[in-house]
Structure 1
Amino acid sequence: MKILCFVLLLLTGGAANAQRIAAKKGLITVDGQPYARFESDGASTLYISSLQNERLFVVKEMVLPNLVVAGVGHSSGNVRYLQYVFTASHTVVETPFPSTEVYFRSITPARQIYAARLFQNGTLDPKAVADFVTNNGTPFSDRQRQLAPLPATSTE
């Protein structure tokens, strides 16, 4: 009984520290506070802006045809990923598409954007962006270059 109470106490404490991220009506919020703005093309592209409506980067859902993984959890052989293109620097970053997501939703990149702490005081944090680029890189484009005959395509 003591162990059960202790486990419940730990779970309650962990849930209290978790931050609630939402992406609705063109606004990304964290615990109800505005974090960044976004516009969607209605399909697979999000345009991310500062709270002052300055467009900063775009997030696209991309597909890499990869026949090597066909049949190993990916019946079609396609690998989905998110491509971030930072407008000012023309820097490209790629992150894996969460395996728990069935289709592209604005909350998916919103969680990644907040986890990387890309915004500080409503504007893009250059150090966080540099860290994001270093930590993620472009593994899917690198793989695409190895599989040169197969082009990566947007899901639009």
Structure 2
Amino acid sequence: MTVQMAPFTQDYIMSKLRMTAIAAAKQYDGGDNRRTCGMRWTVSTCDGSFKVGLLGQTLPALEVIQSTLILSAPAPVTATTGGTSKGDLNAGMTGLNYTGLRDLSKDPITAGEKVGAAFLTLLMGGVLGGFAWFIVKDRI
């Protein structure tokens, strides 16, 4: 999208993108079906570094090839070119699970809550300390 939002970058980015897409496309001649993609796009034919049906190697090549079509895609909209999003300062402050913010001047923290917080803090400190001890002990 950079080439759409900052057109002065188009020549530089698109030339690199086209070269990369061509190199990726040249990798699509491997495997028994001659349609499996390799990983090293710097060589002119499939490098053989693939497993049959491995989608993870095919998707990056398809992504770079597809990204060469960006110039024919509509540019992202902005507030001045048709965007309709409205800001909401209270986003996330309502809904099924929202209970409201606690007003501490009207509902102060009780001693029981302080004891519970201290217990959980000490428990988590002990757990983390135990993990650290096991890690250090394992290294000695």
Would you tell me which structure has more helix in proportion to its own residues? 2
Superposed pair shares fold, TM > 0.5: no
- Higher relative CO (Cα under 8 Å, sequence separation at least 6) belongs to 1
Question: What TM-score, normalized to structure 1?
Answer: 0.21
Q: Which has the higher strand share?
A: 1
- Normalised to the residue count of structure 2, the TM-score between the two structures is 0.22
